[in-house]
Amino acid sequence: MTRPVLEFEGVSKVYGTRSAGIRVLRDVSVSVAAGETLGLVGESGSGKSTFARLALGMEQPTAGTVRIDGKPTRILGAGAGGSAQIVFQDPASSLNPALEVATSVREPLTVSKKFNRPARDARVATVLDDVRLNEELRHRIPSELSGGQKQRASIARALAALPPLVVCDEAVTALDVSVRAQVLNLLRSVRAEYNSTLLFISHDLSTVAYMSDRIMVLYLGKVMEIGRTASMLEDPAHPYTTTLLSAVPHMQQGRLRRRRIVLGGEAPSIANPPPGCPFSTRCPIARDICRQQEPPLAPLANGNSAACHFPHMLEREAAA
Amino acid sequence: MRYMLTRLAGLPLTLVAVSLLTFGILFLVPGDTVDVLAGESIADPAAKARMAAELGLDRPFLVQYADWVWRAAQGDLGMSTSSHRPVAELIWTRLGVTVQLAILGTLISVVIGVAAGFLALRFRGRLIDRLIMAWAAVGMSIPSFVSATLIVLGISILLPDLGVVSYVPFSRDPLGSVASLMFPALSLAVVSGSMFCRYVQGAGDDIFRNADYVRTARAKGAGDRRVLARHVMPNAILPLITVAGLQFAQLLGGSVIAETIFSLPGVGRLVITAIGERDYPVIQGGVLVITMSYVLLNLLVDMVYPLVDPRIRVGSNGGRA
Amino acid sequence: MSTEPLLHLEGVAVRFRRGERSVYAVRDVSLAVRPGDRIAIIGESGSGKTMTTLAMLGLLPAGAEVSGTLSVGGQRYDPLDKGAVDRIVRRRMAAVFQDSLSGLNPIKRIGTQLEEVLLLRGQDAATARARAVEALRRVGITDPQMRARAYPHQLSGGMRQRVMIAMALLASPELLIADEPTTALDTLVQAQVIDLVLELQREIGLALLLITHDIALAADVCEDAVVMYAGYVLEQTSVAGLLERPAHPYSAALLGSMPRLDSPRDVPLQAITGEAPSAFETPQGCPFAPRCSYAREICSQALPPLRAVSGGALTRCVRIEEIRHELAVPQRLSA
């Protein structure tokens, strides 16, 4: 069994002091294998941004260990020594506005020191070919490029030094709808070619489902459900997952249609999590035990895992 | 709260640095320090040695510094070498004038700046706007000694009967006191007022044209005048508070020119005179007082800002991961 | 009941002059909104949908030139004439915009900003305050009295957007224009806000004009759709018609390019090549032709006129009769 590219082992992250801190992530454990894409789903306050930052080595966990290619991020430092790269929502963020695109793409190669001069030139040329940015566009500065072109350049920059892990944080959200499919297709093809491991974050469930092999659903810093995409979409175990899926616009549900589940109340504050299951304050099927005992992330019959006392129940009820 | 404590934490270090440098001035002066302090060249080595011991100059630098600080904290800034009076007393009697002038100057410039900025915005693109902004550009470029001199010149031409307006202490006649500082304050206000005007106009114009909440206000039916008065100006002026505070702090030390030209008995003029007379204790004491006030005022301004901006004053509830 | 539409646009164009050149944000838009209608204007960036909205509301930025006719309830108005906009538009139309944080004055309390709507309409302070609190309650904000004293940054995105809706409602509009009202919000919050809008729309009998780039959202919310591209209307039809039998290759391409929950993961998405034209260029012929897989010579010769085709749709596609059957998306996409 090859070593996973990304590992979270019992990771918790607290901002602030131990006594008066906010637990942004609670006991998260997951392994992502080489070539796999893990989709990350969660709303504001779910901890998904923190998860991404931990995966990139930009922050260190308060408890537990984050490993990239077997090496703890504590040792690798920020950017995991180049082992992890990110494609941002705003293409302008990763490209220096004063530099030609080709120069920006070369930068990670220079930093990584693993490539000598001719190797760098070759890599830059290759990766820019892979993202289909022609010769002329390579020598433009970002302001001279369209949104889609800029994002391609960002992807090239992320992949240039062949990092084991690439985090795509809302990578297509800021792009026009007609361009999104282009860039998603591009991501799929370079992923296949490079056998990249992707952490794919998006609030659009349809996009996440399309791009990911497995999906992890976060709520208030805790993993609610994690498992293979197909089975999660067909038969979600956690009521939160079911609710999210039911809120996808009809047009995009296709044959996986569900009746809309309307939640009451507001999302609880992460500074004041409810006792028991964090979702219990809004869950349509919450029972007493849910409010008293926090359900552990437990394996399910279909191979996925969910943190719920009554897995699949809401889904079955809704289908009936 | 945390914000305030953080700011306060940096204060001691700043004060130490400032006082160290101020004290150190004396030793940077060319020539023998004993001679410098005595005010004359002492030829006899024995007499010099005695003088040095008397003045405490034979001790290590840091000890002298500590001693100086200790005494300053108790209000003893040494003796003036030219007038042989306590430095602290000299400074204290003049501090009121300088502070008054700085307050008046800042107040007038804020009023002028905001009013001018508002008018420029209200009549965007029209003649008034252009005239005001032209004045602002020129005003900012005028050195204060030029504006002060021009005003004096102007007074002598336009109001020849005015005679010499000497400073009237506040305690004796408050109104007269303010009146006697009017022209000097104006000379200062011309410069900083134009800066404020540009500031207000710049920030205000940006908000007026681009802010989404201005669009919302218009969508509600608010006309230009209301948008300007209720939405643009309050937001544009907010950062001005900090700037005005700093300006005030600067005027405390920088009104030397105005004080000199208008013959006002202020701290600035005291220091300038002392420089001419090589009266180092006065210079040290004066510089110390001025810089200390600047640092403290700076801090005060930082403290005030959160009180006015609700975004800092009242934190947002809930966190976002 | 008047037979005049609530809002009527005929041949509207919006232009900005940049020295020698002109930037056409909107080139030719015509549409009519009647009471109770739920219409979506669907378009990407550069399509002209936002400028059209701003023109309707008389909120165009400085330097805009408008041609064509705009009328509310039969009364024509010039969007650049503030007086006319105040008299004619503000009485009957209100808007909700995308960014609720920047759309609210950061140093004023929520309640004050809500009251402003009423104060501008001559209401007295006490009544305004009470109605503002009531409006907050109506949009589902708990503890409205306390919330009214809050500042914008103290509320969550979803709550702020509700505040914006409350603000719009206080103007007692007959038509609510919502410009990307949910783009910045979380999925579930988005659903809640949309639910609220629809509920209010039913209750008050509002007409709704939804401006969005998200066809899926438009399909969930509206009955009719206007698809814009490069400042033109390319297709105008019912939502059902759009989903089942699109009358323009652009619409069909958009529909086909969106991933669905049941999209096979090993099949690439049907992407549209190229990017939208810039507002500086005036396209020769059909603006979508350079990216259209059905384009022929005839498409680039002249701008196709907007015309009616079978199924009640309006389209600018010259070749639609020939290709429509190829465009039809399979049954499972329909609502």
Q: Give residue B317's pLDDT.
A: 42
Residue of B nearest to C81 (CA): B223
Do the beta carbons of residue B314 and residue B255 sit within 8 Å?
Answer: no
Q: What is the pLDDT of residues B33-51, one digit of tens each?
A: 677 666 666 677 787 777 7
What crossing angle do the helices spanning C125-138 and C157-170 adopt, rounded to 10°? 130
Q: Which two tokens stand for residue B172?
A: 């004796």
Mean pLDDT of chain C: 90
Which residues of chain C neighbour A180 with C-beta distances below 8 Å?
257
Do the beta carbons of residue C150 and residue C109 sit within 8 Å?
Answer: yes
* Mutation for testing the A interface, residue in C260, C263, C293 having most A CBs under 10 Å: C260
Nearest by CB to residue C261, choosing from A44, A211, A252, is: A252
Is pLDDT of B188 > 70?
Answer: yes
CA atoms of A317 and C78, how far apart (whole Å):
55
State whether residue A263 sits within 8 Å of chain C by CB. Answer: yes
Residue of B nearest to C169 (CA): B220
CA distance C160 to chain B (A): 13
Is the complex ipTM higher than 0.95? no
**Least trusted range by pLDDT, from B169-178, B255-264, B266-275:** B169-178
* Mutation for testing the B interface, residue in A12, A25, A44 having most B CBs under 10 Å: A44
Q: What is the pLDDT of residues B128-186, one digit of tens each?
A: 999 999 988 988 888 877 888 888 888 778 877 666 667 777 777 778 778 888 888 88
CA distance B212 to chain C (A): 5
Nearest by CB to residue C261, choosing from A43, A206, A266, is: A206
Is pLDDT of B321 > 60?
Answer: no
Q: What is the pLDDT of residues B204-229, one digit of tens each?
A: 999 998 899 999 999 998 888 899 99
Give the B window 217-276 contacts with C, CB below 8 Å. 217-224, 226, 230-231, 234-235, 238
Do the beta carbons of residue A208 and residue A41 sit within 8 Å?
Answer: yes
> H helices within C79-214, ranges in order?
82-84, 110-119, 125-138, 144-147, 157-170, 187-204
CA distance A117 to chain B (A): 41
Amino acid at C111: G
Q: What is the pLDDT of residues C198-249, one digit of tens each?
A: 999 999 999 999 999 999 999 999 999 999 999 999 999 999 999 999 999 9
CA atoms of B37 and B34, how far apart (whole Å):
5
Closest CA to B94 of B274, B268, B292, B248: B268
**Least trusted range by pLDDT, from A141-150, B82-91, C8-17, C54-63:** B82-91
CA distance B317 to chain A (A): 8
> Do residue A22 and residue B320 have CB atoms under 8 angstroms apart?
no
Please tell me which of A15-19, B291-295, B310-314 the model is most confident about, judged by mean pLDDT.
Answer: B291-295
Q: Give residue B258's pLDDT.
A: 81
* Mutation for testing the C interface, residue in A131, A152, A251 having most C CBs under 10 Å: A251
Q: What is the pLDDT of residues A90-148, one digit of tens each?
A: 887 788 989 999 999 998 888 877 788 888 899 899 999 988 888 889 999 998 888 88
Q: Give residue C30's pLDDT.
A: 95
Nearest by CB to residue B212, choosing from C94, C97, C107, is: C97
Do the beta carbons of residue B222 and residue C116 sit within 8 Å?
Answer: yes
Is pLDDT of B74 > 60?
Answer: yes
> Do residue B212 and residue C103 have CB atoms under 8 angstroms apart?
yes
State whether residue C142 sits within 8 Å of chain B by CB. Answer: no
Contacts of A62 (CB under 8 A, 6+ apart): A12, A13, A14
Nearest by CB to residue A188, choosing from C44, C268, C275, is: C268
R_g of chain C computed on alpha carbons = 21
Q: Give residue B319's pLDDT.
A: 30
Helix, strand, coil fractions of chain A, as percent rounded to 5 = 40, 20, 40
Q: Give residue B320's pLDDT.
A: 33
Torsion angle in degrees (nearest 10) through CA of C44, C269, A218, A42: 0
Confidence class for position C332, pLDDT limits 50, 70, 90? very low
Do the beta carbons of residue B105 and residue B185 sit within 8 Å?
Answer: yes
CA distance B244 to chain C (A): 20
Nearest by CB to residue B310, choosing from C103, C116, C151, is: C151
Confidence class for position C2, pLDDT limits 50, 70, 90? low
Q: Give residue C278's pLDDT.
A: 76
State whether residue A221 sits within 8 Å of chain B by CB. Answer: yes
Residue of A nearest to C193 (CA): A262
Which residues of chain A have a pLDDT value below 70?
1, 18, 78-81, 319-320
Q: Is the dihedral of CA A157, A161, A162, A163 positive or negative?
A: negative
Please tell me which of B111-120, B238-247, C14-23 the model is most confident about, judged by mean pLDDT.
Answer: B111-120
Nearest by CB to residue C105, choosing from B219, B223, B231, is: B231
> Do residue B321 and residue A48 have CB atoms under 8 angstroms apart?
yes
CA atoms of A88 and A97, how far apart (whole Å):
15
Closest CA to C49 of C290, C270, C276, C240: C276
What percent of chain C has pLDDT above 70? Answer: 97
Confidence class for position B121, pLDDT limits 50, 70, 90? very high
Closest CA to B257 of B174, B147, B121: B147
> Do residue C116 and residue B222 have CB atoms under 8 angstroms apart?
yes
Q: Give residue A212's pLDDT.
A: 96
pTM, two decimals, is: 0.85
> Do residue A176 and residue C157 have CB atoms under 8 angstroms apart?
no
C175 bridge partner residues: C93, C207
Closest CA to A47 of C184, B319, C153: B319
